[in-house]
Structure 1
Amino acid sequence: MKGIILLALVWVFCSIAINTSAQTNRPAINNAEEEDIFYHTVERGQTVYSIAKMYDVKPGDIHRLNFGSDETIKAGDKLKIPQKKIAKTSVSKPDSDGSYIYHTIQARETLYGVSKQYGISGESIVEANPGLSHNSFSIGKTIRIPAGEKQKQTTEIVENRKGTKEIYYTVPGKETMYNICRTFKTSEKELLKLNPELSGGLRTGMTLRIPLRINEKDIPKEAEPDAREVNAILDAKREIKRVNAAKIALLLPYNADKTTSVNATRERTTEFYEGMLLAVDSLRNMGYSTELFVYDIGDDTAILQKILKTESQTLEKVNLIIGGVSNEQIKLIADFAKANKIKYVIPFTSKNDEVLNNAYIFQVNTPPAYLFANASYAGANLFAKYNIIFLDTKDKDNQTDFIQEFKRDLKERNISYKDVVYDAENFPATIQNQLSTTKPNVLMPISSSLEALTKIKTVLRMIVDKQPEYVINLFGYPIWQTYSKECLDDFHALDTYIYSLFYADNMNPNVKTFYENYKHWYSKNPASTIYPKYSMLGFDTGMFFFEALQKYGVNFENNLSDIDYKSLQTGFNFERVNNWGGFINTNIYIIHYNKDYTITRSDFK
């Protein structure tokens, strides 16, 4: 009996071992092997929510497949993503709803290999992934495959309703009507009768109905695509599509037809427009011509919908659209831009997802997750050899998301930090006990509020003034720029650094010139209470994109690295979010208030 039990236990153990070994040695799952999932490699700034939106799945689906992803994910993580179930079809074009399946590029894979795997042309894959190039076709990257699209066959024999056989012939490149008629023993008149679309001329890719009058064995066979030619598509040079005069549509809610008092939105959009006009004038002085079409789209979508319909003939011909404030407005403009293949700049909001699946979008204002990730990375680089102290002053406006990201970056690099809770009575002694005399110290309040800053600055200045053995810096937030009236002297005394998307140095000659021109044109100064200054945002946005159009044409996205605009307030470093999506601005500034009362602004890209 014991022998039987022992044998059974051995059998169970072996079964478990074999099963475990099979799972361990299982090759990487790919679309061809297991169609229900694929892999996504997390990039800096991405969240489960943004990844879910990117692939049109639910965040809960990602959480279910990836243990721990509901708490945190980090750059480099490989997530399982559920492949959407797509009904198989024999149509030669993608589904009308734009459905796709996704493929994760494996080691040693080529565009030719992927095209063969899915029975689709290399050109179709590249068309579905505008960001795909030799550099981006790399291990771990994801590309999308149009659902239902198959490699077009040159010929297909079908039987029509009368029982007569016909050939469906897909026109290859360099084909002629004369050659088709001679090959298939038909006439141009007969072809035109069966294919009325030929009245507009013969075009590559057309599928023609042709009477079967030759032996089936004599029908031209489809040529197998050459692997080198398919792979070379990724290296194809993209010619600049130049424009004589850049045509720009500006769609913003000015509320010009309303008699109500000026509100914040109107003031901001008006200043943005005024700054953009200064950009047009500056480019005119440089010899560039720009046509600006301006529309007041109101506060909701009703007026915008009417404009997109009644002004479609004009708007379809512009090279660039700028505008939209609400997500509803942005959605309408984004769809219009995508349908008409027009570049679209979202100038204000950072909280919109259209960029994830629309290749024509440029989002100027960095999404918070990307901002925090880049600022955290910059901070970890800058303060790697510092004694880092986080201060919890128990105030409002806690920057929890950024602090968590920053601490995660520090932990990954094995950089230690300290947490200190503020107590008014004991703070001088408490903070001094945490300071180091052997390396510089950097302190960062968890709250971005002025109240938090006010609580700690006096004590820190006292230490700096009376105990020079302590080297102290502050690291803070974009909003700190608006505290200059109360804290500017303290910022310099405490050798302060802040991260920000926006910063204008009022001592810069170009900034001074901008203020002078603005005052000359509009007999006023930009609103001092608005951060950032929307007039400068309009100027920087106009200068960057209008000059890009003039120098590099309507497909300027292929030359983004060559655009070298020295901005007044807003830096630009656009990166494509994935191979099929648009671009987000990932540039941030590190602003340093030096002890000698100078201020330096450094780009971090």
Structure 2
Amino acid sequence: MNRHSLFLCVILLFTALSGLQAQVNRNGQAIASNVQGDDIFYHTIERGQTVYSIATMYGVSPDDIYRLNPGSKEGIRAGDVLKVPQRDVAVNPVEADGSDNFIYHTIQPKETLYSLSKRYNVVAQDIVRANPGLTVLKYGQTIRIPATRIEELPTTEVKTVQKELEYTVERRETLYRISRKFNMSTAELIRLNPQLKDGLKEGMVLKIPMQSEEVVTEDVSRPMSEREVNALLTETKPVERVDLMKVALLLPFSTTERQAIPRFVEYYEGLLLAVDSLKNRGCSLELSVYDTGDGLTKVNQILNEPALQEANLIIGAVQNDQIHRVSEFAQEKQIKYVIPFTSRNDDVLSNAYAYQVNIPHSYLYANAAKAGCDLFANDNIIILKIGDKDEKTEFVQTFKSEMEQRSIPHKELAFARETFVDDIQKLLDSERRNIVLPTSSSLEALNNIRSHLRMLSEVAYNDHPPYSINLFGYPEWQTYTQHALDDLYALNTYIYSLFYADNLSPDVQSFYANYKNKYSKNLINTFPKYGMLGFDTAMFFFDALRQYGTNFEANLDKIDHKSLQTGFNFERVNNWGGFINTNVFIVQYRDDYTVVRNNIR
């Protein structure tokens, strides 16, 4: 080999290695190449996701993930990349609703909607419809591609067409009567007919918007240009406003779990207070309430009711089989569906109309761990290993993993009752704040350490001046305030929680008063309080419907409900699925006897 040939080989080898390096993530794992294989695609892990949720999202098993990614059995981290097996549409036939008739694609550099449409020979609009959360193509994100090719598609389709008709005002008609007749607001009627500002008169000709379904033949003579295709992702959808909001509430008032019935009744009562609040603002709402009982018998009957067929919003169902059936119905009818209670349901992973209020534990722990690291990155963190029945193993592990990723040091101590004070003093730092996280959420664990930590923070011990000590703990601690409130204040305690109500705030006290005045009773002493949960959930989604219509998903971040107990920050789980509430509170009990609640998103 001559010198020139050797020089050329070195250049080619360097180029090849450079290209390979561009396809490696921060942990040195190989990620998607520019040419995706037919048998696998790639998934970038997001905060809070688990192997189970990722496998469920793509219709494969966790073992399929483990087989291709052996290291994932030991745990996964946000930002890492997993190989995922591509489902074989021929082997896994399409379900009745077409939900499985897709292949998955990992976006590569410089790919566009137009290039994907050409590559897979699929109509661009169908790709957009299959991924309702898709507004921009980002390298590494996953989308689904309909398996139907262009040549298999019909050349006609039914489309909703917006038209205007002319309506002549009859004698004694009012603006309100006309707006109700055509299911529109009076403000919209005046906007389209400015002459109404001078008053409504008999014989006036008004413009009325009307929607009708027409069979439209596709124009195949002129295909869309590349620019027109790519613009589909950023196309603004008109707000689909509703004048009369139609809401269906489904709760198990006759469940065999009789101890739960009072909580569901209270949820309903709290929701009714939200209905009253909305009507006091002059809004129209029609609420239909149904008893789901247990199992599917009543649910299947309810879903045949006209009120369900015409609903804008469905709230409720408790049991997983009920939720799944209602979710299928909501997806088929394109109705927004709120899942208010469970955090362990998979329907939100594949239903773009589903909204899960109760945050899954993996997301809760991930967000709480992130918040803890943000707050305590420069402090002396001590994890106190308790070893009782209420161990928070998953959260502690998530917190330790987050600290490891950020190179935040921490210390660990096994709790021993007889020597605890001397043991922990050896780990305390005189120059920094000391953050103590017990691994258990039990009252017993808290009782074993709180007075000792308070003593170390307030008086000299072993000739050492007091230390700066803070506790970091769990949602359950809110229920221990009768026993430990003074110590929680004295230790400037932080807790993470999905729920928190400040009983001293004017808004919460007003809610308590309104509830007692309307129902002649107090809220049940549970955590969380179901009456507040019903009120907060209803106020958020009623406001969403009122302000932004039935397609409010594009404006979720603009809904400004000052919650009593539950915060809301809905994030779409993937480009084709629904939304989960990822809001977490960090609550601090301060030594000046005040409580501060901060939203963590």
Aligned to 2:513: 516
Match of 2:104 among 102, 105, 111: 102
1:246 equivalent to 2:245? Answer: yes
- 1:174 and 1:295 map into 2 onto residues whose CA distance is 32
Aligned to 1:183: none
Q: Deviations over 1:166-210 (max 9, x none)?
A: xx86589999xxxxxxxxxxxxxxxxxxxxxxxx9961247xxxx
Match of 2:90 among 87, 92, 100: 87
- 2:325 and 2:521 map into 1 onto residues whose CA distance is 34
Aligned to 1:501: 498
1:357 equivalent to 2:359? Answer: no
Cα distance, 1:25 vs. partner? 8.0
Aligned to 1:587: 583
Cα distance, 1:316 vs. partner? 1.2
1:231 equivalent to 2:226? Answer: no
Match of 2:131 among 129, 132, 138: 129
- 1:523 and 1:62 map into 2 onto residues whose CA distance is 55
Q: Deviations over 1:548-586 (max 9, x none)?
A: 101000001010111111100000000000000000000
Aligned to 1:437: 430
Aligned pairs for 1:402-417 (under 5 A) are: 402-417=395-410
Aligned to 2:328: 335
Contact 1:94 1:148 in 2 (8 A): no
- 1:57 and 1:327 map into 2 onto residues whose CA distance is 20
Letter in 2 for 1:391: L
Aligned pairs for 1:107-506 (under 5 A) are: 107-134=109-136, 137-150=137-150, 170=156, 203-205=215-217, 222-255=221-254, 263-309=258-304, 311=305, 313-467=306-460, 469-506=466-503
Cα distance, 1:149 vs. partner? 3.6
Match of 2:532 among 523, 530, 536: 536
1:46 equivalent to 2:43? Answer: no
Structure 1 residues 476, 339: CA separation in 2 closer, same or farther (over 3 Å shift)? same
Aligned to 1:193: none
SS of the residue corresponding to residue 416 of structure 1 reads coil
Aligned to 1:7: none
Q: Deviations over 1:373-406 (max 9, x none)?
A: 0000000000001100011122211000000000
Cα distance, 1:150 vs. partner? 2.5
Letter in 2 for 1:382: L
- 1:557 and 1:74 map into 2 onto residues whose CA distance is 28
Q: Which moved more, 1:245-254 or 1:262-271?
A: 262-271
Q: Deviations over 1:88-110 (max 9, x none)?
A: 99x9x998453210011111111
- 1:201 and 1:389 map into 2 onto residues whose CA distance is 65
Cα distance, 1:290 vs. partner? 1.1
Q: Deviations over 1:245-297 (max 9, x none)?
A: 11100001011xx8x8x933211110000000000001111121111000000
SS of the residue corresponding to residue 479 of structure 1 reads helix
Contact 1:118 1:150 in 2 (8 A): no
- 2:353 and 2:247 map into 1 onto residues whose CA distance is 15
SS of the residue corresponding to residue 53 of structure 1 reads helix
1:558 equivalent to 2:570? Answer: no
Q: Deviations over 1:71-121 (max 9, x none)?
A: 1110001110000112399x9x99845321001111111111111111111
SS of the residue corresponding to residue 254 of structure 1 reads coil
Letter in 2 for 1:488: L
Structure 1 residues 174, 320: CA separation in 2 closer, same or farther (over 3 Å shift)? closer
Contact 1:88 1:148 in 2 (8 A): no
Letter in 2 for 1:237: T
Aligned to 2:596: 600
Letter in 2 for 1:114: L
Contact 2:89 2:100 in 1 (8 A): no
Contact 2:158 2:214 in 1 (8 A): no
Structure 1 residues 148, 512: CA separation in 2 closer, same or farther (over 3 Å shift)? same
Aligned to 2:166: none
SS of the residue corresponding to residue 65 of structure 2 reads helix
Cα distance, 1:462 vs. partner? 1.2
Aligned to 2:206: none
SS of the residue corresponding to residue 585 of structure 2 reads strand
1:69 equivalent to 2:72? Answer: yes
SS of the residue corresponding to residue 588 of structure 2 reads strand
Structure 1 stretches of 4+ with a deviation exceeding 3 A read: 20-33, 93-98, 168-175
Letter in 2 for 1:446: T
TM-score, normalised via structure 1 length: 0.83
- 2:213 and 2:537 map into 1 onto residues whose CA distance is 42
Aligned to 1:157: none
Structure 1 residues 533, 33: CA separation in 2 closer, same or farther (over 3 Å shift)? closer
Match of 1:55 among 55, 58, 61: 58
- 2:482 and 2:430 map into 1 onto residues whose CA distance is 31
- 2:322 and 2:586 map into 1 onto residues whose CA distance is 33
- 1:581 and 1:270 map into 2 onto residues whose CA distance is 30
Q: Which moved more, 1:374-383 or 1:20-29?
A: 20-29
- 1:546 and 1:342 map into 2 onto residues whose CA distance is 14
Structure 1 residues 25, 278: CA separation in 2 closer, same or farther (over 3 Å shift)? closer
Structure 1 residues 172, 521: CA separation in 2 closer, same or farther (over 3 Å shift)? closer
Q: Deviations over 1:124-146 (max 9, x none)?
A: 00100110113xx2111111011
- 2:279 and 2:40 map into 1 onto residues whose CA distance is 53
Unaligned runs of 5+ in 2: 1-12, 24-30, 162-211
Letter in 2 for 1:543: M
Letter in 1 for 2:234: D
Cα distance, 1:225 vs. partner? 2.2
Unaligned runs of 5+ in 1: 1-16, 154-167, 176-199, 207-219
Aligned pairs for 1:565-584 (under 5 A) are: 565-584=561-580
Structure 1 residues 554, 31: CA separation in 2 closer, same or farther (over 3 Å shift)? farther
Contact 2:40 2:85 in 1 (8 A): yes
Letter in 2 for 1:203: V
SS of the residue corresponding to residue 434 of structure 1 reads coil
Structure 1 residues 596, 226: CA separation in 2 closer, same or farther (over 3 Å shift)? same
Larger Rg: 1
- 2:330 and 2:545 map into 1 onto residues whose CA distance is 16
Q: Deviations over 1:318-354 (max 9, x none)?
A: 0000001111110011001011000000000001111
